[in-house]
């Protein structure tokens, strides 16, 4: 098993709800459904985290309850927040992104690109005539 999700603790081999953290999770869902941006909803709920982590918190199916974890969020609230996330992503034009696309061949550690006498290495320039390294 991986890490214990936010809002739970493991005691004697069983998952139990940490009520203070579970209330923050419930408040996060409530804030988001009421129209707050994800970052602001998270901050207002008292959870200090990044935007991406907040999204993963809201997509965590364990909060619905399963064989091991008790229920923190009901199915209706979870589905409603998921629909709102999808709607907002559509409005921002983020639904056409491809996920888990791997290149057909392995890429080298550095992508080299030759342009006249300068070779670019990820944010650094190396002049091939003097071999001096200059940071952009």
Q: How far is CA 128 from the centre of its chain?
A: 40
Beta pairing class for 113-115 and 118-121:
antiparallel
Residue 117 has what pLDDT? 40
pLDDT digits (tens, 9 = 90+) for 104-117: 555 555 444 444 34
Structure tokens at 127: 């002049």
Q: Give the contacts of 112 (CB within 8 A, at least 6 positions apart).
A: 119, 120, 121
Q: Give the contacts of 136 (CB within 8 A, at least 6 positions apart).
A: 123, 124, 125
pTM of this structure? 0.68
């Amino acid at each position: 098993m991986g890490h214990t999700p936010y809002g739970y603790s493991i005691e004697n081999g069983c998952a139990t709800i940490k009520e203070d953290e579970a209330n923050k999770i419930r408040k996060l869902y409530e804030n988001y459904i009421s129209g707050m941006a994800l970052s602001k909803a998270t901050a207002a709920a008292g959870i200090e985290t990044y935007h991406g982590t907040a999204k993963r918190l809201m997509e965590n199916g364990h909060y619905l309850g399963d064989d091991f974890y008790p229920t923190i969020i009901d199915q209706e609230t979870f589905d409603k927040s998921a629909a709102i996330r999808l709607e907002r992503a559509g409005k921002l034009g983020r639904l056409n992104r491809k996920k888990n696309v791997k290149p057909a061949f392995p890429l080298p550690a550095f992508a080299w690109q030759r342009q006249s006498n300068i070779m670019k290495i990820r944010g650094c320039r190396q002049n091939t005539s003097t071999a001096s390294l200059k940071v952009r």
